[in-house]
Chains A and B, each alone.
Chain A
Amino acid sequence: MDSTRNARYTALVSAELPAAYNLARWLVRDSTEAEDVVQEALVRGLQYFDGYRGGSARSWFLAIVRNVALGALGTKRRHPEVSLDDDASDALMDELAGQAGGIGVDPADVAGGEHEREILRRAIGALPTDQRAVVVLRDIDGLGYREIAEVLGIPIGTVMSRLSRGRDGVAARLNPGGERP
């Protein structure tokens, strides 16, 4: 019977691997560590699989990924952080802005899509973890508020407020001279 259970599980989660990796990569900010997180989530998911009662497989599996990723972050916090503080990130933003000819310019004027992507990734990457998770799930993965609430284990009202603050934060970093609402 073990092969059938694993078969059902593999069938369910294999389609969610790209979203799982993307979320993990955004949360732990490192590609190797993100793969480790997904691998650990796959193993844990198999252990919890008997508790899965249908519904969105994506929400169910991403919630496990989120748990594992936050656990990994908690471990890392005990060690000194590298270049994730605001000053370092601002310096990097300024450098990129210089290369791209101004960070608040029309994206059409930015030379190549690479800089644009890097600028936006930096702006999202600099958000606090809780806001970053919501912005990634909504604005990159396109999940609905209810699904996001399931993945993160928070009320929908909290999804709304974190998303608003997160988008405010991204906008402020893209346009540091602009007015804040």
Chain B
Amino acid sequence: MMSHDQAHPLIDAFLDGELGAVESADFEGHARQCRQCQDLLAARRALLERLRRAPLRYPLPAGSERRLLASLPAAPAPRARRMLSSLPLPAALAASLVLAVGAYWAGHRHGDSRLAAEAFASAHVRSMLAEARVEVLSSDHHTVRPWFTGRLSFAPPVPELAADGYSLVGGRVDYVDHVRCAALVYRAGAHWITVFVAPNDSGWRSGDERTREDGYQVIRASTGTFRMVTVTDMADAETRRFVDRWLAAAAG
């Protein structure tokens, strides 16, 4: 049985879910019989709840994203190739896609159709580099949609399209073409689909259009309230079908 002196330093890690299963069970075993630990736990839970409820984060000042990124020098990169060769193989393959797709990103201007399409394709490919694919992993739109609350200034539509053969993998917050947006990730067999969503007035170019970027379809459409940009390596007809189903489900 854990003593109070052993348990006390673990209170925060216990509350944060950072203890292993065994340690966690030991801690709980002690806390059940220790009045002092119960009081400390209650006080700490109240504090954490209070911190969680208040918007303590300092948001980026308006316009500073653009200012900051514009400040980056266009410096030469003699070692880019060598770095690729040191990556594990799948990462190197994906990275070479990023190189191909993102070739014009650095000179990319807001509203330029071709360069913007590349930005979306690049964001899609980047997310295929494993870790950043989704931040909330769930096939349930009741989980995914509320997750965006507080992370974005709008609530994106999150259609479930499992009946049409597209499974929702999850979502994340992304920053593409100068706009903070929702990225929804779907899967259809071996194909991945990313749908970027932002309000109509966010600054993304309007109009429905389809472009191809290095093997990726980039399709822009609107629900009336939201702009959506779909990126996938599916075939043309299948991509069009997906977009139609997505728009119909988002409207209904």
* Residues of A participating in the B interface, judged by any CB pair closer than 8 Å: 1-12, 14-15, 17-18, 21-22, 25-26, 31, 34-35, 38-39, 42-43, 46, 50, 53-57, 107, 113, 116-117, 120-121, 124, 138-141, 144-145, 160-161, 163-164, 167, 170-171, 174, 181
**Interface assignment of B148: CB less than 8 Å from any CB of chain A:** no
Binds A, one of B95-103, B205-213, B216-224: B95-103
* Residues of B participating in the A interface, judged by any CB pair closer than 8 Å: 8-9, 11-13, 16, 18, 36, 40, 43-44, 47-48, 50-61, 64-65, 67-69, 71-83, 86-87, 91, 95, 98-99, 102-107, 122-123, 126, 129, 131-132, 173-175
How far is it, in angstroms, between the C-alpha of A171 and the C-alpha of B43 when the chains are bound? 9
How far is it, in angstroms, between the C-alpha of A2 and the C-alpha of B72 when the chains are bound? 12
Task: Give the Cβ gap from A161 to chain B, nearest Cβ, in Å.
Answer: 7
A2–B56 touching, CB < 8 Å: no
How far is it, in angstroms, between the C-alpha of A38 and the C-alpha of B61 when the chains are bound? 12
* Set of chain B residues within 8 Å of A140, measured between Cβ atoms: 51, 56-57
Of the A-B pairs whose beta carbons lie under 8 Å apart in the complex, a sample of 13, sorted by A's number, is A3-B107, A7-B102, A8-B99, A17-B60, A21-B60, A34-B58, A42-B71, A116-B50, A117-B54, A120-B56, A167-B44, A167-B47, A171-B44
Task: Give the Cβ gap from B118 to chain A, nearest Cβ, in Å.
Answer: 9
* Set of chain B residues within 8 Å of A107, measured between Cβ atoms: 50, 53-54
B12–A164 touching, CB < 8 Å: yes
* Set of chain B residues within 8 Å of A164, measured between Cβ atoms: 9, 11-12
How far is it, in angstroms, between the C-alpha of A117 and the C-alpha of B60 when the chains are bound? 17
* Set of chain A residues within 8 Å of B64, measured between Cβ atoms: 17, 21, 35
B71–A116 touching, CB < 8 Å: no
How far is it, in angstroms, between the C-alpha of A164 and the C-alpha of B52 when the chains are bound? 17
* Set of chain A residues within 8 Å of B175, measured between Cβ atoms: 14-15, 17
Task: Give the Cβ gap from B173 to chain A, nearest Cβ, in Å.
Answer: 7
Q: Of the candidates A12, A25, A56, A120, which one forms a contact with B51 in the assembled complex, judged by CB atoms under 8 Å apart?
A: A120
